[in-house]
Amino acid sequence: MNSHITKQLRSKELQKKIVSAGEAASWIKDGMTLGLSGFTRAGDAKAVPLALVDRAKDENFKVNVYTGASLGSDIDKLMAEAGIIHKRLPFQADASMRKKINEGELLFTDQHLSHVAEMVRSDVLNPIDFAIIEAVAITEEGDIIPSTSVGNSAIFLEKAENIIIELNLAQPAALEGMHDIYEAGEYGKRLPIALTSVDGRIGTNKVKVELDKIKGIVLTHDLDSPSTIVPPDEETAIMANHLIEFLREEIKAGRLTKELAPLQSGIGSVANAVLHGLLDSEFENLEVYSEVLQDAVFDLLDSDKVRFASGCSITLSQEKMKTVFPKLDQYKDKLVLRPQEISNHPEIIRRLGLISINTAIEADIYGNVNSTHVCGTKMMNGIGGSGDFARNSRLAIFVTKSVAKHGDISSIVPFISHVDHTEHDVDVLVTEQGYADLRGLAPVERARLIIQNCMHPLYKEQMTAYFEEALKRGGQTPHVLEKAFSWHLNYAETGTMLEPEFSAVKQHNM
Amino acid sequence: MNSHITKQLRSKELQKKIVSAGEAASWIKDGMTLGLSGFTRAGDAKAVPLALVDRAKDENFKVNVYTGASLGSDIDKLMAEAGIIHKRLPFQADASMRKKINEGELLFTDQHLSHVAEMVRSDVLNPIDFAIIEAVAITEEGDIIPSTSVGNSAIFLEKAENIIIELNLAQPAALEGMHDIYEAGEYGKRLPIALTSVDGRIGTNKVKVELDKIKGIVLTHDLDSPSTIVPPDEETAIMANHLIEFLREEIKAGRLTKELAPLQSGIGSVANAVLHGLLDSEFENLEVYSEVLQDAVFDLLDSDKVRFASGCSITLSQEKMKTVFPKLDQYKDKLVLRPQEISNHPEIIRRLGLISINTAIEADIYGNVNSTHVCGTKMMNGIGGSGDFARNSRLAIFVTKSVAKHGDISSIVPFISHVDHTEHDVDVLVTEQGYADLRGLAPVERARLIIQNCMHPLYKEQMTAYFEEALKRGGQTPHVLEKAFSWHLNYAETGTMLEPEFSAVKQHNM
């Protein structure tokens, strides 16, 4: 056995358990439930799931697949296309899987990311037959060092009947020591979670497991799939500026200092761009307490704009991986990776007073936000951690471009077609048009502000007409119920949300 | 000064500040913001608000009114009718005020009850000019002993520029010592909240205030308004049985013990009836960690079914007040009253693993819940604490009768007309028809279960037809968007949600 392997696989007993991915995959039976590592393309088990997909060529079977969040390496895509998934939770972000979900060919349970560990721990979900977890090292005692994400790996390892470890020799060994694994423990026997700052450490850097449960070790050599975010564009830069303007006003009002408050930002290009916008801001000594640490977080760390970042995974573009991974040990005192139950824990989010920034698919004039469904029925990715953060943070900010599809879709509608965040949980809405600070406002006040500050000019008149008609009917939250979804229905029928009588404005504004 | 007064008003300095309610009310100016004590008809400031209403006979003015929750003594009613409120938050439950809100004559901000203190502390809401707080005693140092509720009194006293105390000599003096006042402190400087059991005490039994801020003491002699709950009826008893059946299954599955988990139950007759149903159950040594302690909680304490109850207010029927208040000191080791920020705090709710039981106005087939709006536009009372609890509890249970208005309204609809609790936050739905355990289920699974177990037979076929049509269109959450609100629209137009083609079933089932 070569020295690189023995350096990372230190348990002599486990060295005897090295098997091929195919052999490990052969242990998985029809109807089983798998707990896979992996959070937003980072740290996913790569070899065994693909070997399992291979088996589907000659065999009919289905498994339940629980993960941290979305997987990379086309695993979600290939599993979905192979038709081997019965139920998938709590989050995915793959086009093929999305298609199968929306065709009803696989069941998808869309959960708050902090809730999965609770449900696994309390035996509410199916028992996990196999945990398949990527690691960068296994200690002499057989303890597991996770790789670029922690996700739900710790709880899967604890609760699974059997364990397969994918020891990834390509991932940076410097990840060892960067994790802080904390097990919340059973309901009714819990102490407070002692974390009082983003850089605190309350656990261990490895996951203790029952050695007997480890059935096999599979050696792998592939890096994570790079992130798919696109660089900031003109519109996302404008949105970042609006957000910064809002934060500046908070400082002026004495509610924040130049150090702001620990920042959470959702995945995706818009949130990444918004974080990126902080690079040139006057804010300093910033802290990040988030799920996914994307490219922008490393730029902010490199520029000393951010002094510390706590996350649950590191998800980088190809380019960024090349520069960050070789010098990863330089981030050791600036970075920690936690289980998603802790990165998204209401106790910590409320205590630290986070500023959370997440992306909306659409919002309505009263400040309700849809994060998951296109036109009310088709799943996009899932709610992810946005609900964990929005409900419990100090400032729940949602960002979205005001229009999509070249103006044929308004992201601000009379009534959103699926509600993931209610009016009670949305503090600030930001589009490229401006921001609306909704805190403390009654619904009609919110509507006026959102229409005025956030809507695209193309749709302002049409929305004002709706709102005025609704106001005549009265109520705390005025609506014309029979027209509430008319914008979505217009789009489905005519290809645009814009009604003919208002479309004269279009040429002028677009 | 008589000895009863000096016994309760121990500060010699403050004895000099006794004024009439009229004089105290005269200090309040147009445009001011008031922080009133009072939570669900308990412990409200009674005299000064009524004196303020009196002033409105000859004077035009408006104030913002922030409270704990709903007020008794017709204060919300009279203030609304006098037209002196500009903005009211975070909860109300009065018919006249509701009418004014829905007519757009006063602004109502419907907030999570645990969020108000955060927003006052962080200076997000208007600064509080006068805190008007009911107390049962004032110590020699001038510290305030609240009465039958804590609500937001502590934070109002801390942040207000001026304080008026209503010293209520009719409230039981035995309340002194029953409070546990804890101040969460500023964001960024917080320690964990040290509460790890329902009977823990982490604060003091009084609220420390800056003496100079106390402008006047008003003596009052009226008890709280009694609660308006109606006794359990046949249907609520059946609902309680379904809930108990569910809890029994949880015990069988090994997920709960006979001691269950700390119980939270919302206000109102249904929740009270459900708690009442536990009296004859086999569960034992129960604990309550809730907002309002209603009649049923005292029955459960008296029968030793519940060993300890933590709440934010005591709200009793007239009859129950007569039996409980004279012997209140007997409950001293079984009962504690906390600020609503702590009774509803996500940190504690998640740590203790609460079972939360709240009332829905309507639910949809996917398990989204409307707690606030009738037909999507008209405010009923407000979200109260239901969101604080549902999001963070171990088990978020919602109860509702399956039909209302003699069957003309189905409480289960295709798409709820206002969303307060999303599918992600609703674990179990209970009607008099049965219960649906939604945990871990994908939307289509949830829909089938809710239709089968929770819907009234009268509407099952009509909903099945909707659902089948929706399924043909596909999607994660199938809908026929143009018919999503058709049930509400039918009701508005014809007085019943039942469509003619399905109404033949009606005579058979009703």
Which residues from B are below 8 Å from A422, CB to CB?
387, 419-422
CB-CB neighbors (< 8 A) of A352 in chain B: 187-188, 190
Strand partners, A107: A87
CB proximity under 8 Å: B 356-375 to A: 368, 372-373, 375
Task: Please name the helix (run of DSSP H) or strand (run of DSSP E) that holds residue B373, with its range, or none.
Answer: strand B373-374
Q: What's the whole-model pTM score?
A: 0.97
Q: Is B368 in Cβ contact with A475 (below 8 Å)?
A: no
What integer best gives the mean pLDDT of chain A? 96
Q: Which of A453, A44, A424 is nearest to A249 (CA)?
A: A453
Chain A positions in Cβ-Cβ contact with residue B90 (cut-off 8 Å)? none
Q: Which residues of B touch A417 (CB under 8 A)?
A: 479, 481
Residues of B whose CB is below 8 A from A485? 481-482, 484-485
Whether the CB of B122 is below 8 Å from some CB of chain A: the reply is yes
Residues annotated in a binding site of A for CoA:
266-270, 361, 381, 385, 405
Q: Where do runs of H (alpha helix) occur along B83-131? A: 95-102, 115-121
Query: Per the structure, how many domains does chain A have?
Result: 2
A43 close to B (CB below 8 A): no
- What is the DSSP code (8-state) at residue A126? P
Q: What is the pLDDT of residues A388-441, one digit of tens each?
A: 999 999 999 999 999 999 999 999 999 999 999 999 999 999 999 999 999 999
Q: Which of B134, B176, B287, B291 is labelled catalytic?
A: B291
pLDDT (0 to 100) of residue B344: 98
Distance CA A65, CA A49 (A): 10
| Closest approach of A198 to chain B, Cα-based (Å) | 10
A420 interfaces chain B, CB cutoff of 8 Å: yes
Residues of chain B neighbouring A350 (CB-CB closer than 8 A): 345-347
What residue spans of B176-316 are helical by DSSP H?
Answer: 234-252, 269-277, 295-302
Q: Given CB atoms, is B387 within the 8 Å cutoff of chain A? A: yes
Could you tell me if A453 and A263 are in contact, meaning their C-beta atoms sit under 8 angstroms apart? no
Residue A322 pLDDT greater than 60, yes or no? yes
A506 has a pLDDT exceeding 60: no
Statement to judge: residues B211 and B261 lie in one domain: no
Do residues B51 and B79 share a domain? yes
Across the interface, do B439 and A394 touch by the CB < 8 Å criterion? no
What residues contact residue A494 under an 8 Å CB cut-off, 6+ apart?
none
Q: Residue B33 in contact with residue B128, Cβ under 8 Å?
A: yes
Burial of residue A405 (CB within 10 Å: 0-12, 13-18, 19+) is exposed
A397 interfacial to chain B (CB closer than 8 Å): no
Domain shared by B68 and B178, yes or no: yes
Asked if the Cβ–Cβ distance from B394 to A253 is below 8 Å, we say: no
- Interface residue A187 vs chain B (CB under 8 A): yes
B345 touches chain A (CB under 8 A): yes
Q: Are residues A156 and A277 in the same domain?
A: no
Among A196, A220, A244, identify where a domain stops.
A220
Exposure string of A46-74, with b = 16+ CB inside 10 Å and e = fewer, is bbbbbbbbebbeeeebbbbbbbbbbbbbb
Report the distance separating Cα A435 and Cα A397, nearest Å.
10
Tell me which chain B residues have a C-beta less than 8 angstroms from the C-beta of A196. 190-192
Average pLDDT over residues A284-297: 96
Classified as helix, coil or strand, B399 is strand
Backbone angles phi, psi at A336, to 5 degrees: -140, 145
- Contacts with A419 from chain B: Cβ below 8 Å: 368, 419, 422
Search chain B and give the residue with CA nearest A489. Answer: B482
Read off the amino acid at residue A175: L
Contact B49, B19 (CB under 8 A): no
Task: Establish if B96 belongs to a structural domain.
Answer: yes
Binned at pLDDT 50, 70 and 90, residue A1 comes out as confident
Nearest to A193 among B190, B192, B478 (CB): B192
Average of per-residue pLDDT across A344-367: 97
pLDDT of chain B, 510 residues: tens digit per residue: 788 899 999 999 999 999 999 999 999 999 999 999 999 999 999 999 999 999 999 999 999 999 999 999 999 999 999 999 999 999 999 999 999 999 999 999 999 999 999 999 999 999 999 999 999 999 999 999 999 999 999 999 999 999 999 999 999 999 999 999 999 999 989 999 999 999 999 999 999 999 999 999 999 999 999 998 788 889 999 999 999 999 999 999 999 999 999 999 988 777 888 888 899 899 999 999 999 999 999 999 999 999 999 999 999 999 999 999 999 999 999 999 999 999 999 999 999 999 999 999 999 999 999 999 999 999 999 999 999 999 999 999 999 999 999 999 999 999 999 999 999 999 999 999 999 999 999 999 999 999 999 999 999 999 999 999 999 999 999 999 999 999 999 999 999 999 999 986 555 554
Helix (H, G, I), strand (E, B) or coil at B404: strand
| Chain A contact present for B187, CB below 8 A | yes
Residue A268: its pLDDT value, please?
A: 76
Report yes or no on B227 lying in a domain: no
A150-173: pLDDT as tens digits: 999 999 999 999 999 999 999 999
Any residues with CB less than 8 A from the CB of A50 and at least 6 apart, and which?
A21, A73, A75, A78
**Which residue from B minimizes the CA distance to A442?**
B109
- On whether ipTM exceeds 0.90, the answer is yes
Find chain A residues with C-beta within 8 A of B376's C-beta. Answer: 475, 477, 479, 481, 484
One domain for residues A167 and A73: yes
Instruction: State the best of B424, B480, B482 to mutate against chain A, taking most chain A CBs within 10 Å.
Output: B424
Residue B304 and residue A299: Cα distance in Å, rounded? 60
- Residue A224 backbone phi and psi in degrees, to 5: -60, 155
Instruction: Based on the fold, state whether residues A308 and A340 are members of the same structural domain.
Output: yes
Task: Please tell me if residue A441 touches chain B, with a CB cutoff of 8 Å.
Answer: yes
B259: Cα separation from own chain's centroid: 24
Neighbour-count burial of B54, counting CB atoms closer than 10 A to its CB (0-12 exposed, 13-18 middle, 19+ buried): middle
Whether residue B25 lies inside any domain: the answer is yes
Task: Kindly indicate the confidence band of residue A221, based on its pLDDT and cuts at 50, 70 and 90.
Answer: very high
Judge whether A510 lies within some domain. Answer: no
Q: Is residue B382 part of a domain?
A: yes
| B285 contact A CB<8A | no
Query: By C-alpha distance, which of B364, B472, B478 is closest to B423?
Result: B364
Note whether B204 and B272 are same-domain residues.
Answer: no
Show which of A194, A220, A246 is a domain's final residue.
A220
Strand B292-293 versus strand A335-337 pairing type: unpaired
Q: Are both A409 and A470 inside the same structural domain? A: yes
B443: closest chain A residue by CA: A109
Domain for residue B508, yes or no? no
Residue of B nearest to A254 (CA): B123
**Cα(B444)–Cα(B361) distance, integer angstroms:** 22
- State the best of A449, A476, A480, A491 to mutate against chain B, taking most chain B CBs within 10 Å: A476
- Between CA B96 and CA B78 the distance in angstroms is 8
Contact status, residue A180 vs residue A201, Cβ threshold 8 Å: yes
**A14 within domain boundaries:** yes
Residue A499 CA, distance from chain mean position: 35
Instruction: Determine whether the interchain pair A122/B471 forms a contact, defined as Cβ–Cβ distance below 8 Å.
Output: no
pLDDT value of position A504: 65
Do the beta carbons of residue B381 and residue B432 sit within 8 Å?
A: no
B89 touches chain A (CB under 8 A): yes
Across the interface, whether the CB atoms of A485 and B489 are under 8 A apart is answered no
Token readout for B1 is 């000064």
**pLDDT for A261-277, tens place per residue?**
999 998 877 788 888 88
- Residue pair B113/B69 in contact (Cβ under 8 Å)? The answer is yes
Q: Please confirm, yes or no, whether B432 is among the known catalytic residues.
A: no
Picking from A161, A193, A220, the residue at the C-terminal end of a domain is A220
> Among residues A194, A185, A193, A121, which one has the least CA distance to residue A159?
A121
A476:B377 CB<8 A: yes
Strands A313-314 and A335-337: unpaired
Q: Tokens standing for A183?
A: 């097990």
CB A313 within 8 A of CB A37: no
- Measured from the Cβ of residue A97, the count of other Cβ atoms closer than 10 Å reads 27
Q: Using omega within 30 degrees of 0 as the cis cutoff, is the peptide bond preceding B146 cis?
A: no
Domain at B402, CATH number: 3.40.1080.10
Q: How far, in Å, CA of A483 to CA of B179, rounded?
A: 50
A494 and B CB contact within 8 Å: no
Q: Which residue of B has its CA nearest to A352?
A: B188
Which chain A residues are within 8 Å of B346, Cβ to Cβ? 346-347, 350, 391-392
Q: Which tens digit of pLDDT belongs to each residue from A23-51?
A: 999 999 999 999 999 999 999 999 999 99
Q: Across the interface, which of A112, A378, A417 has its CB nearest the CB of B476?
A: A378
DSSP code for A306 = E
Strands annotated E in B90-200: 107-108, 130-138, 144-146, 162-168
What does the block give as tokens for A362? 């659409």
Diameter over CA atoms, chain B: 79
Quick one: B199 and B261 in the same domain?
A: no
Give per-residue burial for A332-355: e unless 16+ CB within 10 Å, then b: eebbbbbbbbbbbbbbbbbbbbbb
Is residue B466 in some structural domain?
yes
Whether A163 and A253 share a structural domain: no
Please tell me if residue B124 touches chain A, with a CB cutoff of 8 Å: yes
**Residues of the domain holding B43:** 3-220
Interface check for B332 against chain A (CB to CB < 8 A): the answer is no
Residue A507: per-residue pLDDT: 53
The DSSP code for A454 is T
CB A424 within 8 A of CB B420: yes
Q: Is the pLDDT of residue A510 over 60?
A: no
Please tell me whether residues A170 and A289 are part of one structural domain. no
Task: Work out the minimum CA distance from B168 to partner chain A, whole angstroms.
Answer: 31
| B434 and B485 belong to one structural domain | yes
Query: How many Å lie between the alpha carbon of B403 and the closest alpha carbon of chain A?
Result: 21
| Chain A CA closest to residue B184 | A351
Does A254 contact B at CB distance below 8 Å?
yes
Nearest to B190 among A255, A346, A351 (CB): A351
The radius of gyration computed from the CA coordinates of chain A, to the nearest angstrom, equals: 23
Q: Which of A134, A158, A166, A291 is catalytic?
A: A291
Q: With a CB-CB cutoff of 8 Å, which residues 221-240 of chain B face chain A?
A: none
CB atoms A124 and B481 under 8 Å: no
